[in-house]
Amino acid sequence: MTAVAHAQEMKASKSSEPALLQEWTGPYDGVPPWDKVKVAQFPAAFQAAMDASKSEFEAMLEKPEAITFDNTITANELAGEKIGRLFSIWGVHSSNLSNPEVRKIQGEWEPKVSAFFSELTLDARYFQRVKYLYDTRATLNLDTKQTRLLERTYDNLVRNGALLDPAKKAQVINIETELSKKFSTFSEKVLADEETFILLASEADLAGLPESFIAATKAAATSKGKTGWAIVNTRSAVQPFLENSTRRDLREKVWRAFTNRGDNKNANDTNATIAEILKLRQDRAEILGFPTHAHYRMADTMAKDPDKAMDLMMKVWPAATARVAEEVADMQAIANADNITIEPWDYRFYAEKVRKAKYDLDQEAIKPYFQLDNMVAAMFDAAGKLYGMSFTENTGTVPVFEPKVRTFEVKRDGNIIGLFYLDNFARAGKRSGAWMTTYRSQHKLGGKNNIVLASNNNNFVPGADGVPTLISIDDASTLFHEFGHAIHFLNYNITWPGLAGVPRDFVEYPSQVNENWLLTPYVLNTYAKHYKTGEPIPAELVEKIKASDTFNQGFATVEYLSSAILDMKLHNRSVPVTDPAAFERDTLAEIGMPKEMAMRHRLPQFNHLFADDGYSAGYYSYLWSETMDADTWAAFTEKGDVWDKETAERFRAMLMATGNESDRIEAYRAFRGRDPDVKYIMKKRGFPTGE
């Protein structure tokens, strides 16, 4: 075949390929073609992507030459680009742009894709090649990173069933497929409850609410074709309502609607789905040779052992509940005047009254200084001061999946390293919470050095027409947190894609470290400016914020830890729970959950655990990571300058840029000279350290 004929054949082949699988074009090594995507294209694209992946896989297995690292491990590392592009686009539709059509495709195709990749993973021919390389690795002249990749590949295959007989492999594949179906069902039910709202019909219902929030709820009602004010059933709307509304009856109504998501004994109740997921997870763990799902999930983490994670949590739990008792006593002293006893729907409201009384600090007095756009500029500036990164807005030059998404070109040392997408606002069809994702990650294999495409996704309530979006300190902390994830991946400098994924209990570490710079004097003095006057935040207000730094830490810690402890107790058991509601009630009583509080994520709506396997037996990882975070912040403060470039560069180069190229515990020890000390997280939260 002539070169011209070959080129024509390749062109024809590409033109017949679904658009969702074609190479991305445009700047930054190509960008997702959001403007060309139609939801109806996904089913055909999924099938074509699986066919392409199967062809790549078979071509690798059928090579007649001797088995080598290059024709097995390297070949596998370079495979899958088409399906990777497809799932980057699909992930945005299932998380940011969900609708009935998307959910129908999700329910039908995600189980098929799950079964397909389970079959590839457990293919005996592939494992035989990997095992041969693993057994002879000492003779292959591999460097340390190649050796780590080979060993991790082998261990991961064994952990997921490569040594099982065919019948048990089939069982595992069936379980994975069924789990995928249950995850989709769970997500659909929770999202359906989160798309509900409580409509306030009269101005009397607005008592105590700040003007900016009233305007936002009015806009929310209008967008739903309603007259009045809509409190949508998401955290970003519920939390400020609970903090400010003087209507106790409505606080209870809103709180119950929010905490009972997935638990209303109706078509969207998730308790039966949870029980089915737990049974499937335990069955899989036992087939794979693990005593519990927790042991299976934690085999490739820093903690390794469920008991080690539980030990850390129970070191903090008593101090946290003791602090809650103190916080409740302070609130009850004020609530006595209203002749009420503090209930969960009162906690945030009276906490704000205590904050005002103790520190003369009103959250609503702070909010006008925390304009969303200014806080975005602040997080970019902080990354520049610390890591030499620059962010230049180029919104409008590349396609986006929603008109309000902003984009930024990212450089370090004058070189383009990434494109950053920012999707800040809540809307129908977008899942709750905040998260970071990458559409394309960095690696240098095959002569590449990919420009990273990273995205932050938040659920802030936009300001009404003509009014800037104002956010709370908690919201600003979330903004910096998610941006910390983006910084982590934008700074990757790795060769092998298979060494990109870090352990679950390391994932949150760089993001939690990044939160620390939000309330530094430089950031506050430079970016916390009144949205009307442009005046910087007054020094006395900054001092009040600093003085109240550990305020309400009992609440924050117990709210999180109760969810993390239940996660571990739910999954570190050989007999699966069949009644999640009873388990939640009884376990909270057993550990001494304060009656004035609820978990941050009750089981019926706990997407971290039941929308996929990601954080199951892993929600403890926030505390594990925060222990490293507090210890790392001490490394900066010990320098006498939290902007110390030498410390920042060591943190970037040793812990962020390296992905999983070395054991993360060893990497941390190299950075800090020792293991992280739990005393720093206790100090950070204002708890006794025993010193």
Q: Are residues 419 and 529 in the same domain?
A: yes
Total domains present in the chain: 3
Q: What is the DSSP string of 178-245?
A: HHHHHHHHHHHHHHHHHT-EEEE-SGGGGTT--HHHHHHHHHHHHHTT-SSEEEESSHHHHHHHHHH-
Q: What is the pLDDT of residue 690?
A: 66
Q: Do the domain assignments include residue 406? A: yes
Structural domain that includes position 109: 15-190
Q: What is the pLDDT of residue 375?
A: 98
Q: What is the mean pLDDT of residues 452-478?
A: 91
Q: What is the pLDDT of residue 1?
A: 43
Q: Are residues 373 and 486 in the same domain?
A: yes
* Rounded Cα–Cα distance for residues 600 and 335 (Å): 23
Q: Are residues 471 and 533 in the same domain?
A: yes
Q: Are residues 179 and 59 in the same domain?
A: yes
Sign of CA dihedral 533, 538, 544, 548: positive
Residue 55 clears pLDDT 70, i.e. is over it: yes
Q: Do the domain assignments include residue 356? A: no
Instruction: Give the residue from 147, 169, 190 where a domain finishes.
Output: 190
Q: Are residues 376 and 438 in the same domain?
A: yes
Catalytic residue among 352, 482, 508, 661: 482
Structure tokens at 637: 């403060």
In angstroms, how far apart are the furthest CA atoms of the chain? 90
Q: Which H helix or E strand runs over 537?
A: none
Helix, strand, coil share of the chain (percent; to 5) = 60, 5, 30
Q: Is residue 286 among the annotated active site residues?
A: no
Mean pLDDT across the chain:
94
Q: Do the domain assignments include residue 58? A: yes
Q: Confidence band (pLDDT; 50, 70, 90) for 4?
A: very low
Q: Do the domain assignments include residue 381? A: yes
Q: Confidence band (pLDDT; 50, 70, 90) for 466?
A: confident
Per residue in 428-439, pLDDT tens? 899 888 999 999
Own/partner contacts of 51-57, CB < 8 Å, gap of 24 or more, are 52/21, 52/82, 52/83, 53/79, 53/80, 53/82, 53/83, 53/116, 53/120, 54/116, 54/120, 56/80, 57/120, 57/123, 57/126
Tell me if residue 688 falls in helix, strand or coil.
coil
Per residue in 377-426, pLDDT tens? 999 999 999 999 999 999 999 999 999 999 999 999 999 999 999 999 99
* Rounded Cα–Cα distance for residues 432 and 422 (Å): 16
Residue 264 clears pLDDT 80, i.e. is over it: yes
Q: Do the domain assignments include residue 105? A: yes
Residue found under tokens 């509304």: 245
Tell me if residue 57 falls in helix, strand or coil.
helix
Q: Are residues 54 and 144 in the same domain?
A: yes
Q: What is the mean pLDDT of residues 541-546?
A: 90
Q: What is the pLDDT of residue 3?
A: 42
Structure tokens at 481: 């947190």
Q: What is the mean pLDDT of residues 126-139?
A: 97
Q: Are residues 534 and 385 in the same domain?
A: yes
Task: Please state the separation of Cα 23 from the chain's center in Å.
Answer: 27
Per residue in 8-19, pLDDT tens? 444 444 446 778
Per residue in 656-682, pLDDT tens? 999 999 999 999 999 999 999 999 999
The domain spanning residue 469 has which CATH number? 1.10.1370.40
- Measured at the CA of 479, the angle between CA 475 and CA 485, to 5 degrees, comes to 140
Q: Are residues 394 and 425 in the same domain?
A: yes
Residue 6 clears pLDDT 50, i.e. is over it: no
Q: Confidence band (pLDDT; 50, 70, 90) for 362?
A: confident
Instruction: Give the residue from 507, 523, 547 where a domain finishes.
Output: 547
In this structure, of 17-21, 139-143, 216-220, 649-653, the range with the lowest mean pLDDT score is 17-21
Q: Are residues 168 and 227 in the same domain?
A: no
* Rounded Cα–Cα distance for residues 24 and 22 (Å): 6
Q: Are residues 40 and 136 in the same domain?
A: yes
Structure tokens at 61: 């297995």
Q: What is the mean pLDDT of residues 282-300?
A: 97
Q: What is the pLDDT of residue 273?
A: 98
Q: Confidence band (pLDDT; 50, 70, 90) for 463?
A: confident
Q: Do the domain assignments include residue 458? A: yes
- The CA radius of gyration of the chain, in Å to the nearest whole number, is 26
Instruction: Give the residue from 218, 238, 259 where a domain finishes.
Output: 259
Q: What is the pLDDT of residue 17?
A: 73
Q: Do the domain assignments include residue 206? A: yes
Q: Confidence band (pLDDT; 50, 70, 90) for 691?
A: low
Q: Are residues 170 and 239 in the same domain?
A: no
- The reported pTM is 0.89
CB 275 within 8 A of CB 281: no
Q: What is the pLDDT of residue 16?
A: 62
Residue 5 clears pLDDT 50, i.e. is over it: no
Q: Do the domain assignments include residue 80? A: yes
Q: What is the pLDDT of residue 7?
A: 43
Q: Are residues 73 and 109 in the same domain?
A: yes
Q: What is the mean pLDDT of residues 555-576?
A: 97
